[in-house]
Structures are given as structure tokens and as C-alpha cells.
Structure 1
Amino acid sequence: MQRRRLIEGVGSFLCGVVLSAAVYETGLRQPVVGPAAPAGDADPPADLAPPAADPEAPAISPEDAPADAPAIAADTPATPGDPYTPDANGSFTAYPPIHVPLPEWTPELAAKYPKHGLVTGLAAVVRERTERDAPILGILRAGTRVRTDAELSFGGGCTKGWHKVYPGGWICLNAGLEVGDQPPDDGTVATPRPRLDAAMPYEYWRVSHDGTPFFHRLPGFSEQDQADMAAKTWLSEHGRSLMPTATADRPPEVPAVVKEYLNAGFYVTVAGEAVKSERKFLRTLRGTFARKYQLEQREGSNFQGVVLRGEEDLPVHWIVRETPLQRRSGEGEALIKLEDKKPVRRSRYPFVRKVTIGTTRFYEDAEGNLMPEYAIGQSYKLKRPPGVGPEEKWVHVDLSEQTLVAYAGDRPVFTTIISTGKEPGMTPVGVHRLQSKHIATSMRDQPVEDDAYSIEDVPWTQYFHNNVALHGAFWHGGFGLVRSHGCVNLSPPDARWLFGFTEPALPDGWHSVTPATGPFGKGSAVVVTE
């Protein structure tokens, strides 16, 4: 299997996270209010992640084993249905819910949490105690409404004071939290809410030009010209090395209206569109503006895995490389390739057994047709490991097969193909627990090499070992082949389904939760095997 891993195609995606929550609690970030509000100079390095190679795998849908089920529209609810009941193609037609409904609101709760809160900053961190270094329970994005206690609590490094929020934890007002006796007006919050019943929670755009400027506000013609000239000069002298964002560290000819420059291959999430001087601009979720012609929208793969009715549905054999079926010629066991019988990649095929011919392992179907083992990824039944309860939900990731199977206790309920670390050891083997779940979280790194990257709001991210996570990958369709620097890449629909399946569910309205430190239950087990 080491040989198989070494011959995978290139195209990598590093995965990592540094959750710099303190930046939200020190007042460095401006509130996200009004369409032209600046985002501030300090972007929290929420996740250090991957260079986004961009090969788009073809969307293929064979009749006998559809690899790409119909896309679940990114801006409309999924078809009502049971997430665990497959359609005729074996695909899901609905997503498991993300949020757990809150208990009935009682007079006792109203007395304990009499105030109404609205998150007006980009994000607000919920901490276990009134201390800036206390464990994080979760994060709320702009526009989220909460109920709070009546009196401010001070200390713990928060200059404006803390409010206790329902159902648990404390928020520092420095993060951008408006509190009142009546629900605050949310009409000034310019950040769209995530689409929870869609494969993609936000609208994603790829930067298509090196040195693309992102502006604090809509710029004038002369400011754009100055920004472009500064970028051209920088690229000629420094190549694709990113220009520093701090004003004191970048060339003086860069106009103050420029927040940062991003290179081709970086991704941003878009909150709206604006026009100035007959030129179209896109406004990002971070409140910056870029010229529309320098970006291109990405929808992501609509590939879906298979809903299982039980272990009788396993094994499932996935075609991960398009190679012709073969047959024995009879005499001397020589093999003949059947060029007219080539199952398409990411489809499923009914193999029945493994055979060895010479020194090569093959899968064989009921008619004697063969395919080399390296072209197949097999989803199979794994025994529930020690420490995982008989009623728990858990996930099995197989690095050699590049498959994932989700279980409810001993019963497999879902399987799909994935992309994990492209080198041995990048995706750690073992039994892990989910450490945090994020509807979306940004990933960025700025090395000197050509594979610098910046991806805002990577969807459906679930960290299970340090900086390694399960998450949706909309920038490639190469599932079934290794390609990351550690994370487990899933198609956006599969990642959304899995996010709702795993435990714990998020409190109502929350954007992320940290099960290891909070009162919301432990995270689901993630079992990684070779």
C-alpha cells in the first residue's frame, strides 16, 4: 500500500489551525456593520491550511453506479426527507440537522437571562469562564441572537466586561456584542448567515490574478491605479511572495485603502456586490472589496457518497482510477484489456472477490472481469473499537483505501471516498475524538514558495487531532486519491452530511462548538487505519 500512496497524483492541501480567539476580545476587529465597514488590520489566523491545487475532476454519473448525484442547490433547502434513507441511486436527499433545539423557554430561564444580545462583530468567542485564557466553548458569527444575564462581570482581561449567555459560557463585549432590554436591530449587520441546508454554507470565489488588491472600502480610480502599480512592482521584485499587511512593513507607494494583496489560487467568501464608477466590486465576508473581474466563482463538486441500510450493503467498491477491465486469455493466464469496458472514476462497481495473478492483486466481478487493486477503493465493515460505546456515532477513515464509513454503534450508515495526506504519517493513525466543529473556518499560510494559500471559511470543518480535520473541499474533485497535507477532504455535500451526523450537535444558532471543554457532550470518535 505504500507503493499505492506514492503514485497518487500531485495536488496537495495542507491542513492546520491556530484559533487566535483573543483578537476578537481585544477590540482589534471592527464591528461588521454597514456595507462599507472596514474589517480592520488584524485577521485572526484561524486555520493554517493547504496549498490549493486546482485540478477539477470531471463530473461523471454512470447509470449503474452514479458517482455524482444531482447537486443539492447551494441556495435552496435540500429535498425534505430522511437523511438515513437512500434514494434509488443510494444517495441521501436530506442532511442531518446541525443545531440541537433549545429546551422550552421557561419563566426561570427568562429571569436568569433577561437581556437580549446580538453579535455585531465578525465573530464572538464563548468562553467557559470570565477569563480571556479560559477554555473556548464555541464561536458565534455576526447576526447571531442570544439571551444574556442582566449584569456585567469584569476582569479576566476584558475591558468592556462579560455577559453570561444561554445556554452556557461568557462573551466579552470587546468582541462585538450589543445587549439591550429588547432585541437589538440586526438590520445593520452586513454578514449573511450560513446556508445550513446546502452543500456550501457561503458563496466562494477564487482569486484569478496574482497581486489582487483587497480594499478597506470602495476605492477611486486613482487609488486602484496606485494599488495596481504597487502590486506590479512588488511582483517583479519578490515574485509570488505575499506583500506584508502591516502598513509599516510594506512599500510606501501602497495606498492606505489597500488592506492586503492575494495571489491567484486563493479563495474568499463573498457577502455581496457593489458598483462604483461603473466598476463592479465583490464584498467579502470580512468586509473588504475586490474588483469582480479579478475573481471567479467556484461551486464545488456535487459528488455524493452512499447511505447504507446496514452491513449487508458493504463492501462497496469505488473506481478511483479509470482503467479498462481485463480478462484472462485462457492460455498461460495472459490478460487482455477490454478497452470498451472502462468504468468511470468515482463510480461504484460490483466486484465479488480478490485474486492474485503473478505478483499483482486484482478485484474480480461475477463474470470474471478483472481490475488492478490500485484502481479500487473499498469501503468495508470495521469492528467497533474499544472505548466507543454501542450507541455512539463514530467514523472510520482508511488511508490505504481512501474511504470513509460512518457508524451508529455497530451499524454502518454511510460511506464515501475521501482524500487524505499525500505522504505517510500526515493523517495520524489511531482512535481520536472530535475536538471542535466549525460550520466554516478560515485557513491561511503565506510561505515564500509558489504554493502559498488562503482559503476563507473552509466548510464543515471538524478537528480531531491537533491541526488535522475532516472538512469539505470545493477546490478539487479528486476524491479517492491522496492529495492533502493531513486533513481528510470530502466533497461539500458529503462533508455537510457528516457534520450533521457527528456529535455533539451545535447549540441553536452557534457557529462552532468545542466538545472537549464544554457541557455539550464528547465528540464522536474518528478511527484512522492504514
Structure 2
Amino acid sequence: MHVPIYETPDTVKKIGYLRLGTVVSRSDTPYGNANCPGGWYGIAPRGFVCSGKYASIDDYPLIVKAASVRPDTSKPLPYAYGFVRSVSPLYLRVPSRAEQKKQEYKIENHFRWFANHPEEQRVGSGANEHARELIPDAAVVPPAEDTPDGVLLGGKSNADPPPFWIENGNRAIPNVQGFDVKPESFFANMVKRHTGVSFIGTFDAGDNLDHRRFAVTVDLRLLPIDKVKPEVGSPFHGVEITPEMKLPLAFARPCDPKKRGEEMKACRRIYRKSENGKRMKRESDVIPSRAFLQLTGVREVFDDVPYYETKAGYWMRERDLAIAMTPHRWPGAAERGEKWIDVAIVDEVLVMWEGKKPVFTTLVSAGQDGVKDPKNSKATIRGFFRLKSKHITATMDSGERSSVSGGAPPDPNAGEAAAADDQHDTSFELRDVPYVQYFHEGYAIHSAYWHDRFGIPRSHGCINLAPIDAMRVFRFTDPPVPDGWHGVQIDPNKGTVVIVHP
């Protein structure tokens, strides 16, 4: 799936990579062939690729055409996404009725259940449709709740034809997942329940199969749509800090972590001073969960409880707020006028800075174990770091480990298995997690399309962002990922500074 890019025409230093299906400009002639019989070709905007097993200078091989759908970086979710609702086969071609019955346990019962539960495919408001509220040049996307599930999973309609590489009933391209299958095989392997899968298309299998529809995964396998719940990501996002705004700024802390989106209970009360100014009186008004609040900077304590005054005139308890603060001491990056990112674990707040000017703030979900020792807990590591790599997307396991992280390797059994005997296993994959930025070993700032708990500790140690925020932060940091590349490695002391503290 990946082709490495090297700094010079050799394998000494990797600087990035291309994903399967990418077409990039190259030099007319190779720059030598050391350890690369096909020759090293220069590509735009820099670097060299070896022409051979994984990269070709021929005109569009069939596999490249099949994988030509690129991640859409004008959207918070660069692919379409869904979650496997029950253990399911991944097919290599459209299976016959008999083949489906062989691979799918109690398939007739499943068909009846799916027909009687159309609400299972419905979604609410999603990230892509709200992106322009924060990012002006983001793609214009219709409301997810009005979009057919076939389109939500990457198709153009609910009746798209099969892709060209399976039009005649056989598969015209190889399996690209790193394991061998026989040419006549219709079945690749099983995918576990709860696995997050990325898609590039859907199609209708036609009359012979009662118009059963299939989704095409990014790695060119087929998953029945009735086994997948579309996922559109949280519409939550942070706030651009304008010149008129002054820190401290705040968000109302979310209350009930068992709720989702707009259902998260609004429970943060407002307070006003008594007439004599000696105590606080609680009002009946309630602030919506994660509401953005501008503060005056005035903090007072009544009966041992600290309160902050808002610019709207009321007061709120400090413990009900997630507060973005100016640091007590400026880091070197601020003094040098660099971009840098500040993450406060206790408040679950991220602030982006340009020198000493704050430009953006939002809520995060850091490690679920708070400020414990990250060596033996699910806490986020603390300290001064620089970004070491950026990835348009990267696949993680349920412990947020990835093969591109440089930290602990992912669980090889997560997500997929040869048979369906693992349906009670709690490990699973999250395919193509968007906008991943590693700053230390396996710790990354990345999008989380699978939850809406921002402002609440939840991760296994990474810093989770809502999809819109992850796109905004990814665009802010340096260096950018060149057009056409899927990821970039960053030289030491060149990446944007990340400071994580309690």
C-alpha cells in the first residue's frame, strides 16, 4: 500500500511515502540504479522513488487505476467511514448466493433483521457538513442525515455499478493486503465487530443477488453494506481566536460522558453575586455542554470555591470550565516567533500559538488516566516535543498503535482474522485515522472519528481531536505534507513544537 520516498537516490534516509494509486510527476531519466535495478526517479517536489515492485513508470497499471480514488483533504473525513456491526467477510469479488451463505453465519436471519431496522443506517449531523464553520475553503457537503447510506460509504448513489475490476465476475487485480490468495478465491478474510473501516465506493450487485449492495474498502476489498453502520464524525469544533479575544478563554465542561453530541447533558450552572457582593447565588440557567465562553480574567473565591467572571456578566465555577490560559513562562518557541501547540491535560484544552499570539483553541480527549505515569498507564506523556511525522491517514488498533508511529507495533490480530471464531474479542482496528501527527514514539495528535467525548479523558495516550479540529491543526503545523504524498518524515528540530503539561 505504501511506496517510500528517499532524500537521495539510495535507501539511506526516508523522507515520506506515497500510497497505492498515487500518480506524481517524475524526472525523465533515472538518477542511477544503486540497489534499485529499475532506477531511481526524482519526484515532485523533492525526493526519489525506486521504480520496481512497488512503483512503476509505465502508463497507469490496472492496479493504479483501481486505486485511483485519493483521500479528499478538503474534508475532515478524507475517506468515507463506517463501523462493522457484526463479524463479516471481506470479499475479493462479488460472491454468489451459495458463497455468501457459506461465509456469513445465519445470513437469512441477518437479512430479515436488516430489512426491519432501517433506522440502523441513519446518521445525525456530521463533521464534513460543518467544516466550513471553521475552515472557509473546506468542501461543501450536504447534510449527512439526508444522504443515502451508499453515498455515506463512498458511492455516488445507492445504485452505482460494480467497479471495472470485477465487472465480469472475476477479480482483475491482485489482493494488496500483504497475504497471498489463490486466483480463484472469492474470500479474503473476516473483519471483526467494531472495526472502523474506510471506503471509496459502493455498488449494487444486481438482480441475481437481490440487489445486495457492497462497499469498496480503500484496500480494494468488498464488505456488504448491511454489515456496516456509516460514521460521519462529530460536528464539534473549536474557535479561532480573533484579535478582540483575550485569554483566558473557556469551554463549559461536558457533563455526562455516556451521552453523544447534542444529547450530552447541559449541567453547568451560572452564578451571580448577591447584592452585597459577599456570596454567589446559583441561577436556574444552564450553559450548554462545550459552549465557548469569553472571560474577563477576574477570578474570585467564595466559601473556598473559585469562580471566573464571564464577559456576559455572569460567573461560573472554575471546576465547570475548561480554560485556555496564557503560560506562566514563555517557551523558547514563543520567544523565537515560531508556531507551537500547547496541550493542558487537566483542562483537556489545546491552544495553537504563533509566537506569543494565540490563534485557535479547542477541547481534546487526552489519555484516560490523566496525569498518572504514562510508562504504566493510559496517560498522555508530558513534556516538550517536536512533531516527527505527519500522515494524511494511518491505521491504528484499538490501543491507538500504528505501524507508522515509531512506538509499539500494532496488535497483528486486531481487526481481521481468518475465521469468525473471534467475535467476542475486544481488539479491533481503526482504519485510516485522519490527520495523524506523531510527536513522541507512539504518541500522536490525531482525529477521532469514532467518538464525541472531546473535553473528557478517553484515549490510550494519544491526543484525540474532533475531525474538524484535527484538519485545522494538521494544516497549521509544519512541515506540510506535499501534494500527492500520504505522509512525511520530519527532520529533528524541524517540526512544530508540542508542549504537553498537566
Please confirm whether the aligned pair reaches a TM-score higher than 0.5, indicating the same fold.
yes
Instruction: Indicate yes or no: 2:448 matched with 1:473.
Output: yes
Provide the rounded CA distance (Å) in 2 between the counterparts of 1:397 and 1:334.
33
* Gap change, CA 1:350 and 1:187, over 3 Å in 2: closer
**1:143·1:186 contact (CA, 8 Å) conserved in 2?**
no
- CA gap of 1:384–1:136, structure 2 versus 1, over 3 A, is farther
Equivalent residue number for residue 485 of structure 1:
460
CA distance in 1, matches of 2:78, 2:191: 22
Q: Please, which moves more after superposition, 368-377 or 422-431?
A: 368-377
The alpha-carbon deviation at position 403 of structure 1 amounts to 0.8
Alignment partner for residue 391 of structure 1, among 324, 329, 337?
337
Matched ranges for 1:306-345 at <5 A: 306-310=239-243, 312-321=245-254, 322-326=267-271, 337-338=282-283, 340-345=284-289
Q: 1:510 aligns with which of 474, 482, 485?
A: 485
1:24-76, Cα deviation, whole Å (9 max, x unpaired): xxxxxxxxxxxxxxxxxxxxxxxxxxxxxxxxxxxxxxxxxxxxxxxxxxxxx
Note the 1:305-454 alignment, pairs <5 A: 305-310=238-243, 312-321=245-254, 322-326=267-271, 337-338=282-283, 340-352=284-296, 353-365=298-310, 369-382=314-327, 383-386=329-332, 390-423=336-369, 424=371, 425=374, 426-444=379-397, 445=411, 446=413, 450-454=425-429
CA distance in 1, matches of 2:446, 2:53: 26
* SS of residue paired to 2:81: strand
Provide the secondary structure at the position in 2 that maps to 1:480.
coil
**Structure 1 residue 167, shift from structure 2 partner:** 3.1
Whichever residue aligns with residue 230 of structure 2, its letter is Q
Aligned ranges 1:29-428 → 2 under 5 Å: 122-132=1-11, 134-141=12-19, 142-151=21-30, 153-156=32-35, 160-174=38-52, 176-180=54-58, 188-209=65-86, 211-229=87-105, 257-276=186-205, 277=209, 278-310=211-243, 312-321=245-254, 322-326=267-271, 337-338=282-283, 340-352=284-296, 353-365=298-310, 369-382=314-327, 383-386=329-332, 390-423=336-369, 424=371, 425=374, 426-428=379-381
Structure 1 gap ranges (5+): 1-121, 232-244, 249-254
Note if contact 2:335-2:356 (Cα within 8 Å) is conserved in structure 1: no
Cα drift, residue 438 of structure 1: 0.9
Q: Cα 1:310–1:327, aligned 2, differ >3 Å: closer, same or farther? A: closer
> Counterpart of 1:435 in structure 2: which amino acid?
K
Query: Please, what TM-score do these two structures have when normalized by structure 1?
Result: 0.65
Q: What's the counterpart of residue 66 of structure 1?
A: none
Distance apart, 1:379 and its partner CA: 1.0
> Against the structure 1 CA distance between its residues 398 and 311, is the aligned structure 2 distance closer, same or farther, given a 3 Å change threshold?
farther
Alpha-carbon contact 1:124-1:175 (below 8 Å) kept: no
Letter in 1 for 2:85: S
Shift of 1:168: 2.6
Opposite residue 399 of structure 1, the aligned amino acid is I
Name the CA shift for 1:346/1:272 in 2 (closer, same or farther; >3 Å). Answer: same
Amino acid at match of 1:315: P
Change (3 A) 1:439 1:349: same
Residue identity matched to 2:331: P
CA deviation profile, 1:182-214 (whole Å, cap 9, x unmatched): 7889982434112122221111111111x2111
In the TM superposition, residue 222 of structure 1 has moved relative to its aligned partner by 1.9
* SS across alignment from 1:499: helix
Distance 1:408 1:495 in 2: 18
Distance 2:63 2:218 in 1: 16
| Structure 1 counterpart SS, 2:323 | strand
SS for the counterpart of 1:177 is coil
SS of residue in 2 equivalent to 1:378: strand
Query: Counterpart of 2:236 in 1: which secondary structure?
Result: coil
Q: Deviations over 1:418-453 (max 9, x none)?
A: 111111232221111110111111112446885412
Equivalence for 2:110 = none
Count of paired positions: 384
- TM-score where L is the length of structure 2: 0.68
Partner of 2:126: none
| 1:274 to 1:502, Cα distance in 2 relative to 1, 3 A | same
Whether 1:522 aligns to 2:468 is: no
Distance 1:431 1:246 in 2: 37
Supply the distance in 2 between the matched residues of 1:165 and 1:186 (Cα, whole angstroms): 20
Tell me: CA distance 1:367–1:212, structure 2 relative to 1, closer, same or farther (3 Å): closer
Instruction: Name the SS of the counterpart of 1:195 in structure 2.
Output: coil
- Alignment partner of 1:259: what SS? strand
SS of structure 2 residue aligned to 1:145: coil
Identity of aligned residues (%): 29
Contact 2:334 2:354 in 1 (8 A): no
Shift, 1:174, TM fit: 4.2
Q: Kindly provide the amino acid, as one letter, of the partner of residue 348 in structure 1.
A: F
Task: From the superposition, tell whether residues 284 and 220 of structure 1 become closer, same or farther in structure 2 (CA, over 3 Å).
Answer: same
Contact 2:382 2:499 in 1 (8 A): yes
Give the Å deviation of 1:293: 0.3
Higher-RCO chain (CA-CA 8 Å, sequence separation at least 6): 1
Q: Is the 8 A contact 1:310 1:412 kept in 2?
A: no
* CA-CA distance at 1:287 after TM superposition: 0.6
User: Tell me, which stretches of 5 or more residues in structure 2 are unaligned?
Assistant: 108-176, 255-266, 398-410, 415-421
Post-superposition shift, 1:300? 0.8
Once residues 239 and 302 of structure 2 are traced to their aligned partners in structure 1, the CA distance between those partners, rounded to angstroms, is: 31
The CA RMSD measured in Å over matched residues stands at 3.4
8 A Cα contact 1:191 1:285, kept in partner:
no
How far apart are residue 337 of structure 1 and its match? 4.2
Aligned-residue offset at 1:360 = 3.5
* Cα distance per residue 1:74-111 (max 9 Å; x no partner): xxxxxxxxxxxxxxxxxxxxxxxxxxxxxxxxxxxxxx
